[in-house]
Structure 1
Amino acid sequence: MPAAPCAPGTRLPALTGARWWAAAAVFVLHALVFLPVYPFQKSELFRAIHDVVPMQQGAAGVTFFFVLSGFVICWSFRRGMPVRGYYLRRILKIYPTHVISALVLVLVVAAPLARPVVWLPNLLLVHTWVPKWTTLGGLNVPSWSLCAELLFYLSFPLALPLVARIPTHRLWVAAAVLLATIMMLHTGFHLWVEGPKDTANVFAARLLPGDVSPEFEIHVSPQWFAQSDIPIPASYWLSYPFPASRLPEFYVGVLAARMVAEEVWRNTRLRTPLAALALAYGATWFVPLNYKMSALLVAPMAAVVATLAARDLAGVSGLNASRPLVWLGDISFAFYMIQFPVMVLIARLFIGGHRYSIGGWAMWTGVSFLASILAAAAIFHGVDKPLMNRVAKRSPRDDRRTAPPAQSPIKALTKR
C-alpha cells in the first residue's frame, strides 16, 4: 500500500483542544441535573431550560470522546510496541484519576464501605455491565464511560490484524458497515427490548421532597445507598452505558485515523462537518430514546474529528489549536472525572439547607466550574502528567528503522 505523506503519532493540538468543548458540554448538563438547587429544579423555568439542554447534549460529548479514543489509539499505536506496555499505559492513563475522584467522593459522602455493592463495581470499572441503577448510578456517576473505554483498550490489539487487512480504497465501505451496524443495533433495541418508545427526553433530575436544597444529590444520598436494587429500563441500558453497544463507535474512530493518515480524508474545512453535526443533534429531538444517545451523532462526530486532525497536519491554525484550549484539552479528562465530586462537595458545604432560584444555580454552577478546573489541573500536573512521563521514559523506543514515520499507523504495524 502507498505510504501516506504525513507523520502519524505526531501531536494533534486541535484535536486536543476540541476535547475541552466535549467536556464542557457534559459539565453543563451535569450542573443542571446533579446540582441539587431547590426550588429551582422544581420550577417551570427548570423544565423549560431542560427542554433546551436535554441528556443528548452530554451524550454528544461522550460520543465525541469514544470516537476520538479510537482515532488516538490507532494514531499513536506503533509497530514494536509491546502489547503489555500498551495495556499498562492505557490503564495508568485512566485509573489513577478515576481512583482519586472516587476517593474524594467517598470521603465527601461517607459512602457505606461495609456494602461493597455500593462502591466495589464502580472502583473496578465493571458497574455498567449490570443493568441496575444500584451499581450503575452509585458513586462517581461519570465514571460509567470508563467501563466502555476499558473494553475499547482491551479489544484494539486483538482486532488490529482484522483492521489492518482493510485495503485503503475500502475504508469508506468499512466505515459505512460500522455505521449501519450501529443503526441496526439501536433499531433492534427500540423494536424488541423493553423500555421507553416515544421521543420524549426522559433524562431529568431525580428530586427529593421539599423546597429546601438537600445536602446530598440523590445518587450519593444515604437513601440511595440503602436501597438493595434499583432496576433500569433495558433499552436505555443497552443504548447508552452498555460497553459492548458502544464498541463500534470506537472503531469508527480507528477507521477515521486510517483515512486521515492514508489521505482518504483530506477535508480541512470545519463548516460542513459542524453543520452535519448540528443537523444530527437537532434530529435527536424527534427520534426515540435509543437513537438519541449516539446513533445519529457518530458519523458527523467522526467527520469533525477527522477534519480537525487533517487541519493539524495541514498546519491550519485555529481556536482549538491555541495554547489555552490545548491546556484545557489536556486537563479535560481529569475535569470530566472530578466535576461530579466537586458538585457533591459544594452541595454539602454550601447549597444544602438553603433555597435558590436560577440566580443561585448559576452562581454555584460557576463556582463548581472553576473549582473543577483547579482540581483537574492539580490532578493532571501532579499525578497524570508525571506518571505518563515516567512510563514513557521506561518504555522501549519504537522500531523507527523498520516503521518510518511516513507510513500510516496501521500499515507501519503490518508491513514486513
Structure 2
Amino acid sequence: MTQTIAADDAARARPLPSVAEIERRRPALPSLTGARWWAAFAVFVLHAMVFLPVYPFQWSALFRRIDWFVPMQLGACGVTFFFVLSGFIIYWSYKPGTDVVGFYRRRVLKIYPSHLVAMAAFIIATGGIPWSHLHVWLPNLFLVHTWVPTWTLVGGLNVPSWSLGAEMLFYLTFPLFLPLLRRIPSHNLWLAAALIFVLIVALHTSYYLWVDGPKGITNEFAPRLRAPHDVSPHFEPHADPRWFTLDTMQPPRSYWLSYTFPLTRLPEFLLGVLAARMVLERQWRNTRIWPPLLALALSFAATWFVPVNYKMGVLLLLPTTAVIATMAARDLAGIRGLNASPRMIWLGNVSFAFYLVQYPIMVAVTRFLIGGHSYGFWGWLGFATLCLVLSVGGGALVYYWVDLPIMRNFARSKPKPAADAPPVARAA
C-alpha cells in the first residue's frame, strides 16, 4: 500500500523549482493551510473531553478508557504544530524590504479582532464577569496573561487564548531575529536546527530537575471531575462564576514553564523559521509524507512513557517540523493530497477562528443544555458533535465577517498617489 502511494506521488511530482524561482514568487502552500484544520481539531477533541462536564458519564469506566486514549498531549500536539507552522509561514510570506511597522500591524490585526470577538462570546456565555476584578480580564485582554504563573490568569476567560500570548511574542521578536537567522549559511541550517532542539531539551530537562512540579509519567492533566454526581453542572470550573472571585491559584510551576510560558515556546517558532529556509533553499527535499507521519505517530505513543515536561511538545517537535517541511516540499513539487483539496483549504482558513470560539460555545452548551440533566456516553457524544458543528459555523462567521474584511481593508497600507502626477490626457 505504502509503495503504491509512493509510486503515485512520484508519478504526479514535478521537479522542485530552483531557489531563484521560489525567491521571485513564493508560491502558496495549500497543504499547510488544510493541515491547520487537523491541529485545531485535535485541540477540540481534547477540550470536548475536558470542558464538557456530562454526568454521570464522566464517572464511568468507559469515560476513563476514552480519556486514556485522549490525553492532554493530544491537544498539546496541535499547539506545537501551530507554533512551528507559525514560524514557517511568517518567514515564507515575509518579503525583503517589508516595513516593520506594517508587519506588526498585519500581525496584530490578524489576531486581535478575532480574539476580542471570542472573548466577548465567552463573557456572554457565562452571563458576565466581575469587571471590578481587573486581574481576571485585563491581562487576557492584552494577551499577557501567560507571563504570570497563576491559574486564574492562564486559565481565565477564553482558555484557548493562552497560546496567543506566545504568538504575540513570536511576532514581536521576529524582525529582531530575522537578520541573525538569515546569516546562517544554507549548509549550516541543519546544525542550527539541531542546536535549537538541544536548547529546547535542555530547558525542559532543567524544569524537570530543578523546578517544582509532577515528576512521574502519569498523564496528570485529566478533566476536572466533580465529586460523584448524577446531575451535570451548569458550568465547567474555568467558566464558573466562583472562578472569577479567586485572587490566585498556583499551577505546578514546571507545567507553566514548560507549556504556557511564552519564552519557552519561542524556540519552536524559530525552528519553524529554519524549516522554511530549508525548504526554500533546497536543504529539505523529501516529499514522501509517510515517514514523518509515522515518526509523529510513534512519538505521540512515546508520550505515555515520559515525564509531563516532555509530553507536551519536546517529543513531538522534530516529527511535527518534518511533517510541515515535507508538506511544503510536496506543494512545491505539485503533489496535491487530501489537505490541498478545496474543502480542507476552507476548513484550514476558518481553523483559527474555530480554535478561538470552540470554548465559549462549549460553555454556552453546558450552561443552557447540559446543566441540570443526566447523560451517558451518547449524550456526551451528541453534545460534542453539536459543539463541533456550532464551532465550525461560528468560526466561519468570524472568518468571513471579521477576519477577512479587516485583513483586506486595513492590513496593508494603501499606496499614496504621486504628488506631481501629470493630468491624464483626454481622448480626442
- After TM superposition, the score normalised by the length of structure 1 is 0.93
Residue of structure 2 in register with 1:24 after alignment: 41
What is the Cα deviation at residue 80 of structure 1?
A: 1.7
**Does residue 30 of structure 2 align to residue 13 of structure 1?**
yes
Greater Cα radius of gyration, structure 1 or 2: 2
Residue of structure 2 in register with 1:135 after alignment: 153
Residue of structure 1 in register with 2:81 after alignment: 64
Matches within 5 A, 1:264-283: 264-283=283-302
Of the candidates 90, 104, 111, which is equivalent to residue 129 of structure 2? 111
Distance of 1:71 and 1:207 partners within structure 2:
38
Of the candidates 88, 113, 117, which is equivalent to residue 96 of structure 1? 113
Query: Structure 2 counterpart of 1:102, which letter?
Result: M
Residue of structure 2 in register with 1:247 after alignment: 266
Question: 2:123, 2:129 within 8 Å by CA — same for their partners in 1?
Answer: yes
Of the candidates 205, 222, 226, which is equivalent to residue 245 of structure 2? 226
Residue of structure 2 in register with 1:157 after alignment: 175
Three-state SS of the structure 1 residue aligned to 2:287 is: coil
Distance of 1:248 and 1:123 partners within structure 2:
25
Question: 1:207, 1:218 within 8 Å by CA — same for their partners in 2?
Answer: no
Three-state SS of the structure 2 residue aligned to 1:195 is: coil
Gaps of 5+ in 2: 1-17, 417-428
Distance 1:395 1:168, change over 3 A: farther
Residue of structure 2 in register with 1:394 after alignment: 413
- Over the matched positions of the two proteins, sequence identity in percent amounts to 58
What is the Cα deviation at residue 247 of structure 1?
A: 0.5
Distance of 1:187 and 1:114 partners within structure 2:
40
What is the Cα deviation at residue 9 of structure 1?
A: 3.5
Distance of 1:297 and 1:371 partners within structure 2:
30
What is the Cα deviation at residue 42 of structure 1?
A: 1.8
Deviations 1:87-110 (A, max 9, x none): 000000011000000001111211
Residue of structure 1 in register with 2:91 after alignment: 74
Residue of structure 1 in register with 2:225 after alignment: 207
Distance of 2:21 and 2:295 partners within structure 1:
28
Distance of 2:26 and 2:124 partners within structure 1:
40
**Does residue 309 of structure 2 align to residue 290 of structure 1?**
yes
Distance 1:113 1:172, change over 3 A: same
Residue of structure 2 in register with 1:50 after alignment: 67
Deviations 1:359-380 (A, max 9, x none): 0000000000000000000000
Instruction: Tell me the number of residue pairs that the alignment of Structure 1 and Structure 2 aligns.
Output: 396
Residue of structure 1 in register with 2:200 after alignment: 182
**Does residue 52 of structure 2 align to residue 35 of structure 1?**
yes
Q: Once structures 1 and 2 are overlaid, which stretch shifts more, 386-395 or 154-163?
A: 386-395
Residue of structure 2 in register with 1:196 after alignment: 214
Distance of 1:180 and 1:342 partners within structure 2:
39
Of the candidates 356, 381, 389, which is equivalent to residue 337 of structure 1? 356
Residue of structure 2 in register with 1:304 after alignment: 323
Distance 1:321 1:396, change over 3 A: farther
What is the Cα deviation at residue 395 of structure 1?
A: 4.9
Distance of 1:179 and 1:28 partners within structure 2:
28
What is the Cα deviation at residue 46 of structure 1?
A: 1.3
**Does residue 384 of structure 2 align to residue 365 of structure 1?**
yes
Q: Once structures 1 and 2 are overlaid, which stretch shifts more, 260-269 or 207-216?
A: 207-216
Q: Once structures 1 and 2 are overlaid, which stretch shifts more, 4-13 or 159-168?
A: 4-13
Distance of 1:80 and 1:106 partners within structure 2:
41
Question: 1:4, 1:262 within 8 Å by CA — same for their partners in 2?
Answer: no
What is the Cα deviation at residue 279 of structure 1?
A: 1.0
Distance 1:112 1:392, change over 3 A: closer
Query: Structure 1 counterpart of 2:157, which letter?
Result: L
Distance of 1:276 and 1:196 partners within structure 2:
27
Distance of 2:194 and 2:302 partners within structure 1:
20
Query: Structure 2 counterpart of 1:97, which letter?
Result: S
Residue of structure 2 in register with 1:126 after alignment: 144
Deviations 1:238-280 (A, max 9, x none): 1100000000000000000000000000111101110111111
Distance 1:286 1:396, change over 3 A: farther
Distance of 2:274 and 2:30 partners within structure 1:
20
Gaps of 5+ in 1: 398-416
Residue of structure 2 in register with 1:385 after alignment: 404
What is the Cα deviation at residue 5 of structure 1?
A: 3.6
What is the Cα deviation at residue 396 of structure 1?
A: 5.5
Question: 2:109, 2:411 within 8 Å by CA — same for their partners in 1?
Answer: no
Distance of 2:258 and 2:275 partners within structure 1:
23
Residue of structure 2 in register with 1:403 after alignment: none
CA RMSD in angstroms, aligned pairs only: 1.3
Residue of structure 2 in register with 1:402 after alignment: none
Distance of 2:262 and 2:313 partners within structure 1:
13
Three-state SS of the structure 2 residue aligned to 1:10 is: coil
Distance of 2:279 and 2:226 partners within structure 1:
49
What is the Cα deviation at residue 4 of structure 1?
A: 4.2
- After TM superposition, the score normalised by the length of structure 2 is 0.91
Distance 1:348 1:6, change over 3 A: same
Residue of structure 2 in register with 1:412 after alignment: none
**Does residue 375 of structure 2 align to residue 356 of structure 1?**
yes
